[in-house]
Amino acid sequence: MILFVQLLVLSLVILSTILVVGIPVTLASPGQWERSKSLIYTSIGIWIGLIIVTSIANSFII
């Protein structure tokens, strides 16, 4: 169970890093927001889901 939570945290850190770099680059590039808006919203939804799943899985570890 601990390994599962560690993998969830690792994926959360990787996705957070990608979003921290990707969102400002997308917003700064002309015309990119319209093309990648759905991808960014999907990534943010996955990020929120990872936070919820990680917190639930972490509550089972004593």
pTM above 0.85, yes or no: yes
Q: What is the CATH classification number for the domain harbouring 48? A: 1.10.287.740
pLDDT at 1: 87
The 10 Å Cβ neighbour count of residue 41 is 10
Structural domains counted in the chain: 1
pLDDT at 56: 95
pLDDT at 28: 93
Tokens (6 digits) for 11: 């994926």
Nearest-angstrom CA–CA distance, 33 and 15: 19
pLDDT at 40: 93
Sign of CA dihedral 17, 14, 47, 40: positive
Per-residue pLDDT of the chain (62 residues; tens, 9 = 90+): 899 999 999 999 999 999 999 999 999 999 888 899 999 999 999 999 999 999 999 999 87
